[in-house]
Amino acid sequence: MKDRLCELNGLGWTDWFEQRTECKPTETIARVAAVDRDQLLLVDQTGPFRAKLAGRYLHRHHLSHELPCVGDWVCLERQPGDDFGVVQAVLERRTSLRRKSAGNAIDDQMIAANVDSVVIVQSCHFDFNLKRLERYLVMVMEGGADPCILLTKTDLVDPAVLAAQLAEIDSIGVMAPILTLSNVTREGLEDLKQLLAPGKTYCFVGSSGVGKSTLINHLVDRDRLETGTVSATGEGRHTTVRRELIRLEGGALVIDNPGMREFGIVGADDGIGAGYAEITALASSCRYRDCGHTGEPGCAVLGAVHSGEISREHVENYLKLREESDFYQMSHAERRKKDREFGRYIKSAKTDLKDR
Ligand SMILES: Nc1nc2c(ncn2[C@@H]2O[C@H](COP(=O)(O)OP(=O)(O)OP(=O)(O)O)[C@@H](O)[C@H]2O)c(=O)[nH]1
Ligand SMILES: [Zn+2]
C-alpha cells in the first residue's frame, strides 16, 4: 500500500490527497493524463491506460466542472489484466484552473486540476499587457495555484523595453516569480528548468503565439512524447490528445495546453487593477481578521494608504476585485442550489409518472 502511494508521488500524489481519499478497497487510484471526449487516458504506477466514466457517476454529476479533467485524481475499478478502467469517483481538487465565462457563469469549465504552479506567459514583443496579466493572476490565485510570470521572445526587444516591462510588473506589487526567456537564443531556458520541481504539476497559459508550444517542445523530447502517447493508447490513429499531462525528464509534470485561448481572457483590456499581493500581506496585520479595509480601526491596509506606502487607487481596485470574486462565489453557490432544485424536480416528475 505504502509502496504504491510512493510511486504515485512521482505523478504528483501528496499527503493532501491521501488524507481526503475515500476509494473503496477494490478501487485503485490514477491520474487523468488526458480527456478525449468520453474517453480518459489515465496514468498510475503501472503506466498509462484508458478508462471510461462509470454510468452511475455520469448520472449523478451533470455540471461540466464535475467531470474529470486533466490533472484530476480518480478512483477506479480495474480487474487485473484489464487494459480498460472504469472511473467511479473524482477526488477532491487541491487547485483548479477554470474558465470563467463572461456574463453568465452557469457553465464554468475546468481547464486543469491539481496544478501546483501556473506559468503565465506573455511575449515581451507585442503581447505584453499588464491588465491582462493581472486578470490571469487573479484567476490563477482564485483556483488556489501559485502563479509564475514568464516573458518570452526577449530576443526581439531592446533590453530597455524588457526592463521597463519588468518594472511595470514590479509596480503592481506582484510577488510571483518573474522569468524571461527566448526560445530562439534559449537564454533563460535553464532558469525555467530549474524552477520546475519534480513531482509538481505545471500548466502554461497565455495568448496564442507567445511561444508556449515552442517552449514545451524545448522542455520535452516531442517525438518521443508522441510515440509514447500512441503506444499508450494502443491505437495509431489516436495521435492528438489535447491537454496532456507530461512528465519531464527532471520529474516535473507539465500540462501541455495548446488550446489556451479558450481560457477566456482574450482582449480583456478592461482588466481589474491589482496591488493585491502587497495588500494581502498587509491585511494579515489588520486588527480584525475579517477586516474589510473600509475604515475599520487598526486596519493596516488603510494605514499604508495614509502613510503613502500604497496608493488608494490600488486598494480600491483590490476591493472591487474582491467584491467580484465574492459575487462569483455566491453565484456559484446559487447555481448549485438551482441544480439541487432541478434534481428534486426531476425526481418528483418521475414519481408523478410512476403514480399514473
Ligand atoms: N523570436 C522568437 N520567436 C518565437 C519565440 N518563441 C516562439 N516564437 C515563434 O512564435 C510563433 C508562435 O509560437 P508558438 O510556440 O506556436 O506559440 P503558442 O503560444 O504555442 O501559440 P498557440 O499554440 O497558438 O497557443 C512561432 O513562429 C515561434 O517560432 C521566441 O522566444 N523568440
Ligand atoms: Zn484592514
Q: Which three cell numbers stand for residue 308?
A: 503613502
3-state secondary structure 175-212: CCCEEECCCCCCCCHHHHHHHCCCCCEEEEECCCCCCH
Q: What is the ipTM of this complex?
A: 0.95
Query: Is 182 within any annotated ligand binding site?
Result: no
Q: Whose grid coordinates read 475515500?
A: 22
Query: Is 174 within any annotated ligand binding site?
Result: no
**What is the three-class DSSP state of 336?**
helix
208 lines ligand 1 (CB under 6 A): yes
Of all ligands present, the nearest one to the C-alpha of 258 is 1
pLDDT value of position 323: 63
Q: Whose alpha carbon is nearest atom 28 of ligand 1?
A: 211
**Domains of the chain, each with CATH number or no CATH:** 2-90 (2.40.50.140), 96-102+110-263 (3.40.50.300), 276-355 (1.10.40.50)
Other residues' Cβ atoms within 10 Å of the Cβ of residue 275: 22
In a structure prediction context, what are the per-residue pLDDT tens digits for the chain, which is 356 residues long?
Answer: 444 556 899 999 999 999 998 889 999 999 999 887 778 999 998 888 999 999 888 888 877 788 899 999 999 999 877 778 999 999 999 999 887 655 445 566 788 999 999 999 999 987 888 888 888 888 888 889 999 999 999 999 999 999 999 999 988 888 899 999 999 999 999 999 999 999 999 999 887 778 888 898 888 865 444 433 433 333 333 333 456 888 898 899 998 764 444 444 332 322 333 346 677 778 878 888 778 888 899 999 999 999 998 888 778 877 776 665 544 444 445 545 545 554 554 455 445 444 44
- Rounded to the nearest whole angstrom, what is the distance from the C-alpha of residue 279 to the centroid of ligand 1? 35
Residue type, 226: E
Is the pTM above the cut of 0.80?
no
266 lines ligand 1 (CB under 6 A): no
- Rounded to the nearest whole angstrom, what is the distance from the C-alpha of residue 123 to the centroid of ligand 1? 9
Give 149's strand partners.
Answer: 120, 178
3-state secondary structure 222-282: HHHHHHHHHHHHCCCCCCCCCCEEEECCCCCEEEECCCHHHHCCCCCCCCCCCCHHHHHHH
Condensed to tens digits (0 to 9), the pLDDT of residues 25-52 reads 999 999 999 887 778 999 998 888 999 9
Interior/surface letters 9-44, b for 16+ CB within 10 angstroms, e for the rest: eebbbeeebeeebebeeebbbbbbbbbeeeebbbbb
**What is the three-class DSSP state of 76?**
strand
207 lines ligand 1 (CB under 6 A): no
Distance CA 169, CA 180 (A): 12
- Rounded to the nearest whole angstrom, what is the distance from the C-alpha of residue 132 to the centroid of ligand 1? 19
pLDDT value of position 242: 54
Residue type, 102: A
